[in-house]
Chain A
Amino acid sequence: MATVRHRPEALELLEAQSKFTKKELQILYRGFKNPWPLSLRECPSGVVNEDTFKEIYSQFFPQGDSTTYAHFLFNAFDTDHNGAVSFEDFIKGLSILLRGTVQEKLNWAFNLYDINKDGYITKEEMLDIMKAIYDMMGKCTYPVLKEDAPRQHVETFFQKMDKNKDGVVTIDEFIESCQKDENIMRSMQLFENVI
């Protein structure tokens, strides 16, 4: 497989497009360019593919199986759907997640949940996402994980979010419901100071 050398856009351009400073971009790029000590073999430099995503996540959540969630995340980051996340995609995503407004963050989350990107979150999509998240917990949880825990959670979610009870959640319903929930609003600030 030919190594695709992907050079990112200039530092100034990225700085203008994202909300990171030059120093932060430098730190991020250094980590990105040398993504994984272990599985560098198949990864063309300059882009990150799905397997690397999965491996990274499995290191963070060793108890469970994080491959499904990593898959959804990858699709959320890979905005042009070309199978690889370039540094620009990466920065774009991170910029929203870490430095974006609440609106942007909620938009991103909605995009993550909407697997087929059709503008609606159906119960099945939500169930997939929920299962992926619960998979990350692994087997040894307390209390013991029940088979229908994800489904329960999805029901709760839809009860809260689906205002007109039509079985799908649109972006407006989503944003509106989240903005009403003070817990969620408060948690949105949690991950700001990450770099």
Chain B
Amino acid sequence: MAAGVATWLPFARAAAVGWLPLAQQRLPPAPGVKASRGDEVLVVNVSGRRFETWKNTLDRYPDTLLGSSEKEFFYDADSGEYFFDRDPDMFRHVLNFYRTGRLHCPRQECIQAFDEELAFYGLVPELVGDCCLEEYRDRKKENAERLAEDEEAEQAGDGPSLPAGSSLRQQLWRAFENPHTSTAALVFYYVTGFFIAVSVIANVVETIPCRGPARRPPREQPCGERFPLAFFCMDTACVLIFTGEYLLRLFAAPSRCRFLRSVMSLIDVVAILPYYIGLLVPKNEDVSGAFVTLRVFRVFRIFKFSRHSQGLRILGYTLKSCASELGFLLFSLTMAIIIFATVMFYAEKGTNKTNFTSIPAAFWYTIVTMTTLGYGDMVPSTIAGKIFGSICSLSGVLVIALPVPVIVSNFSRIYHQNQRADKRRAQQKVRLARIRLAKSGTTNAFLQYKQNGGLEDSSSGGEQALCVRNRSAFEQQHHHLLHCLEKTTCHEFTDELTFSEALGAVSLGGRTSRSTSVSSQPVGPGSLLSSCCPRRAKRRAIRLANSTASVSHGSMQELDTLAGLQRSPAPQSRSSLNAKPHDSLDLNCDSRDFVAAIISIPTPPANTPDESQPSSPGGGGSGASSTLRNSSLGTPCLLPETVKISSL
């Protein structure tokens, strides 16, 4: 956890005084505090430059080099200072992190060097503050890309190797997507590119008029009609190649539906379909007109080049992302066109032999004028028409010229915005993950501490004290605080797993009659203990009786439950408590074996006296529950011995 909070620990502990009158159990004793808690000034000598700071400042982050005992390795006893043979300029930033809690990234330093310093001092790069985080990441990404490019250039020859057992399909797909991976793929790539070009050029050339053979009226004919067979053969060849390519891609695609819906495959289909339709359509006069129109679609073959060109793809993407701006431009233009066309029409209405026969006819004039083309095929003749015509051309300059830079800047803005939004989303995720990690870290530390038996009385053996002693003073006090809260509320912190188990078990009508399990903690003169949760337990008992467990071994449970309700209390574990009659159903707050007890339900009820499970010193909790769970799942009918053993 970000232990810059260490400075506020006294406050949190002091405020815990507010819980004292409410605590129903005795609160644990405070951890022993080191004798000298006075603050002192440490001198850190980094390559000759001396930095001085309070010890408490460095202690704020105990999981770094300077905050932990690791710095003792660098302590020079003769001079009484900590000596680091590192860059003093970078150290300034590191030290400022301790002082302010924010890690800033130096602008003029190499990002790699900064990273290395961070790694040395035990700071994770995620600690970089928000003000510098974006720049830090950008520079890191640049660096990484540059390094990656160098690496790629080195390994120009070898492509990414597929796992040995990859099928033909996968290999084929990889060949299609990355033509550079194998020679065959490269050849195929160039062949298709060549044929696309050939097809496009053929389409173009077949409309050029060639001088026909010497005929009586020397008539010019488009080449396509002069050499129909040649063009037809060429067309057929190209279409065959394209069809073959399309079918191969379809076969190799990992997800055929997605492939079918993709833009490139649509373009492929549109490119080859006219040919087949042309084949199928009988050659009669009515349909051939439509057939000719279809041939227009052959020009879409040129879009197949976008597989071969990265630039085309980027252009297409940017157009798509600026669609709204383009749409707005079109809309405003349309408005202007309609307005001016109307005006011109009515202005020129009276003239004889005017070109402005209708408003839609005037559209053409307006567009040509506004875009300053001025073909001159339609000109106004009235004075009013000329006036409005000039206004139209002047406003055309404005209307067209203004949005274009806006659109251009929108392109770049939207492009960068998308990049930044993705970055921010990633950063947010990282930040949330960091916070969650810190929180879970704290909780886990405490739970770990509990599991290691840290909460036992110190009188019960010094061996286990070793494993819990290597916590900082701050951690000790913080854990003591959390422990006090547990005692005040009679509940314990657990992790998600145990909680969900307990939740599930309770909803099954988990029994509490097993509460004769010995508490794993020494029970003091806790006359308050029994009064802690009597009513809660009673309610649970009632719920038990009415429970309709929906789980598979529910019926057995119910039987046990009903039988258990009439059982007499087995007070051996709770000898120190006043054994009130309803205490048998009490849920001992200290009992860690609650979950253990629940899962041991399928035991036949006759074995009550053996149910008092020996106390597991602190190892209870999740450890016992998991082992029990295994055993209970394995053998639906547990013997008491099994239960006892597995609970250890």
B5 and A59 within 8 A (CB)? yes
A98 and B14 within 8 A (CB)? yes
B56 and A27 within 8 A (CB)? yes
Bitwise, A159-187 to B at CB < 8 A (1) or not (0) is 00100000000000010001000011011
Closest to A142 in B: B494
When distances are taken between beta carbons in the complex, the residues of chain B under 8 Å from A61 are: 482, 485
When distances are taken between beta carbons in the complex, the residues of chain B under 8 Å from A38 are: 2, 4, 101
The one of A36, A145, A149, A187 in contact with B20, judged by C-beta atoms closer than 8 angstroms, is A187
Question: At the interface, yes or no: A117 with Cβ under 8 Å from chain B?
Answer: no
Give complex CA distance A185, B559 in Å: 47
Given contacts A140-B493, A142-B494, contact A97 B14 (CB under 8 A): yes
Within 8 A of A (CB), among B441-486: 442-443, 477-478, 481-482, 484-486
Question: At the interface, yes or no: A62 with Cβ under 8 Å from chain B?
Answer: yes
A94 and B11 within 8 A (CB)? yes
Within 8 A of B (CB), among A62-84: 62-63, 72-73, 76
Closest to B25 in A: A183
Bitwise, B207-243 to A at CB < 8 A (1) or not (0) is 0000000000000000000000000000000000000
Q: Shortest CB–CB separation between residue A118 and chain B, in angstroms?
A: 18
Give complex CA distance A93, B37 in Å: 21
Interface of A is mostly: helix
Given contacts A142-B498, A152-B536, contact A56 B12 (CB under 8 A): yes
Give complex CA distance A30, B98 in Å: 13
Give complex CA distance A146, B101 in Å: 39
Question: At the interface, yes or no: A14 with Cβ under 8 Å from chain B?
Answer: no
A133 and B13 within 8 A (CB)? no
Given contacts A97-B17, A141-B491, A191-B13, contact A130 B23 (CB under 8 A): no
Give complex CA distance A129, B22 in Å: 10
Range class of the B interface residue count = 35 or more
Give complex CA distance A142, B4 in Å: 29
Give complex CA distance A155, B499 in Å: 26
A193 and B481 within 8 A (CB)? no
Closest to B8 in A: A56
Give the one of B5, B102, B442 with max A CB within 10 A: B5
Given contacts A38-B2, A157-B22, contact A137 B39 (CB under 8 A): no
A142 and B17 within 8 A (CB)? no
B491 and A136 within 8 A (CB)? no
Give complex CA distance A151, B494 in Å: 22
The one of A28, A56, A138, A145 in contact with B5, judged by C-beta atoms closer than 8 angstroms, is A56
Closest to A174 in B: B21
When distances are taken between beta carbons in the complex, the residues of chain A under 8 Å from B490 are: 149, 153
The one of B100, B478, B621 in contact with A60, judged by C-beta atoms closer than 8 angstroms, is B478
Closest to B535 in A: A152
Bitwise, A118-159 to B at CB < 8 A (1) or not (0) is 000000000001100110111111111110110011001100
B438 and A193 within 8 A (CB)? no
B485 and A109 within 8 A (CB)? no
A193 and B39 within 8 A (CB)? no
When distances are taken between beta carbons in the complex, the residues of chain A under 8 Å from B493 are: 63, 137-138, 140-142
The one of A133, A136, A144 in contact with B506, judged by C-beta atoms closer than 8 angstroms, is A144
Question: At the interface, yes or no: A190 with Cβ under 8 Å from chain B?
Answer: yes
The one of B486, B506, B531, B589 in contact with A156, judged by C-beta atoms closer than 8 angstroms, is B531
Question: At the interface, yes or no: A105 with Cβ under 8 Å from chain B?
Answer: yes
When distances are taken between beta carbons in the complex, the residues of chain B under 8 Å from A106 are: 21
Give complex CA distance A118, B484 in Å: 29
B4 and A136 within 8 A (CB)? no
Give the one of B12, B102, B594 with max A CB within 10 A: B12
A144 and B503 within 8 A (CB)? yes
B22 and A133 within 8 A (CB)? yes
B443 and A63 within 8 A (CB)? yes
Q: Shortest CB–CB separation between residue B543 and chain A, in angstroms?
A: 11
A27 and B39 within 8 A (CB)? yes
Q: Shortest CB–CB separation between residue A144 and chain B, in angstroms?
A: 5
B22 and A191 within 8 A (CB)? no
A37 and B29 within 8 A (CB)? no
A105 and B17 within 8 A (CB)? yes
When distances are taken between beta carbons in the complex, the residues of chain B under 8 Å from A188 are: 17, 20
Within 8 A of A (CB), among B73-125: 99-102
A193 and B33 within 8 A (CB)? yes
B101 and A59 within 8 A (CB)? no
A143 and B10 within 8 A (CB)? no
Q: Shortest CB–CB separation between residue B355 and chain A, in angstroms?
A: 68
Question: At the interface, yes or no: A112 with Cβ under 8 Å from chain B?
Answer: yes
A133 and B21 within 8 A (CB)? no
Question: At the interface, yes or no: B488 with Cβ under 8 Å from chain A?
Answer: yes
Pull 10 A–B residue pairs with CB atoms less than 8 Å apart, ordered by A: A23-B38, A38-B101, A62-B439, A90-B11, A133-B19, A137-B489, A141-B489, A142-B499, A144-B502, A174-B21
New A-B contacts (20) at CB < 8 Å, excluding given A73-B18, A113-B18: A23-B39, A31-B8, A36-B101, A37-B4, A59-B2, A60-B478, A93-B14, A109-B17, A109-B20, A129-B22, A133-B22, A134-B491, A137-B491, A140-B499, A141-B489, A144-B503, A157-B21, A183-B23, A191-B13, A194-B10
Interface residues of A (CB under 8 A from B): 23, 26-28, 30-31, 34-38, 40, 56-57, 59-63, 72-73, 76, 90, 93-94, 97-98, 105-106, 108-109, 112-113, 129-130, 133-134, 136-146, 148-149, 152-153, 156-157, 161, 174, 178, 183-184, 186-188, 190-191, 193-195
Q: Shortest 6 CB-CB distances between A and B: which pairs?
A: A37-B101, A31-B7, A62-B439, A97-B14, A140-B499, A142-B494
